[in-house]
Structure 1
Amino acid sequence: MTSTSAKNGDVKDGAGSEFLAFTLGSEEYGIDILKVQEIRGYEVVTRIANAPEFIKGVINLRGIIIPVVDMRIKFNLGTPVYDQFTVVIILNIGGRIMGVVVDSVSDVTTLTPEQIKPAPEMGTAFGSDYLVGLGTVDERMLILIDIDKLMSSGEMGLIEKLAA
């Protein structure tokens, strides 16, 4: 399995990479569209005892128990508000299915390597290890997240144990 890395500028065929744009608070983020399996409206999750706060719980997705992470809690972006715009993005990361709760999704954006700049080293809500870079389209800026790295980090290993 090959992966494209916008960080190195080796996007296949010189074409752009597609990112699903979503919001958390006042910021707009992007994740590789190829990791997205589906987008669902927010539904109540079953809480798991002793799970970290950012792990909302689990949902039953067509017979499969899926762990759900609230990205607003994960990134310390204030108290989440669940409304008609709140969605769960179902991701397939290395064969593991999981959901992430975000405030809303806006669109799928294609970015060329020239539109992706390295993320500046500064105190962000999460480590720069998880950043691909900053994507710019006209006046719009997307914080591009390496969802593979984020979801395979040590603490996310808890998710698999909880879902088992």
Structure 2
Amino acid sequence: MPASPSPSLETRPAGAFSADAAGMMLTLTVAGQLCGVQVLSVRDVLGVQVITRIPLAPREVAGSLNLRGRIVTAVDLRSRLGLSPREAGKGAMSVVVEVGGELYSLLADQVGEVLSLDAGERSPNPPTLDVSWREFSLGVHRQGDRLLVLLDVERLLELGA
């Protein structure tokens, strides 16, 4: 059964958010790494979903899911980043984003909280950041003792490019 979207992440038109939302990030975890995506691109957060495989799709495309009558392409972030597959039986959380007028589901291990980040505190990618992450990162933020990788959602969704 799909999880209800978080009250702070209700489906809204892109213009319905204030300018303050530009610095807000939804945190998620992929293979133990803390990541963030801009809240302005997030349309929904879902629990484990039934995903239908798409024949001949690129390996990072897990399939498609039905979101209130709309077909949404599901992209497995582990696969897209060249990481090991999720353990059998471990379902993925789904972060639905809108890019170019299309909806996509980013499959992550966990979805966390919404953080307000100061753009002035963003750092460039450190040279030690793995190349598979660096390709899809807009930069990093230090969150306590952890590094938050800011994901470039548009770049992640350049499938087959």
TMscore range, shorter length: 0.7 to 0.9
Tell me whether 1:83 sits opposite 2:99 in the alignment. no
Equivalent pair of 1:66/1:97 in contact (CA under 8 Å)? yes
**1:22-51 per-position Cα deviation (integer Å, ceiling 9, x unaligned):** 001121111111110000012121111111
Alignment of 1:18-37 (within 5 A): 18-37=24-43
Q: Aligned partners of 1:16 and 1:35: how far apart in 2?
A: 10
The number of equivalent residue pairs is 142
RMSD after superposition: 2.2
**TM-score computed with the length of structure 2 as normaliser:** 0.78
Give 1:66 shift: 0.7
- Tell me the residue number matched to 2:50: 44
> Does the Cα contact within 8 Å between 1:73 and 1:80 map onto a contact in 2?
no
Per-residue deviation, residues 82-131 of structure 1 (Å, max 9, x unmatched): 536x3111111121111011000111111112321011245625263431
Residue in 1 that maps onto 2:160: 155
Question: Residue 81 of structure 2 contacts residue 132 of structure 2 at CA under 8 Å; is this kept in 1?
Answer: yes
- Residues 121-145 of structure 1: CA distance to partner in whole angstroms, max 9, x if unpaired? 4562526343110111332320111
Change (3 A) 1:137 1:123: closer
Contact 1:16 1:113 in 2 (8 A): no
Q: 1:29 and 1:16, CA in 2 relative to 1: closer, same or farther beyond 3 A?
A: same
TM superposition shift of 1:71: 0.5
TM-score by length of 1: 0.77
Matched with 1:143 is: 149
In the TM superposition, what is the alpha-carbon distance from 1:154 to its structure 2 partner?
Answer: 5.0
Q: Which SS does the other structure have where 2:79 is aligned?
A: helix
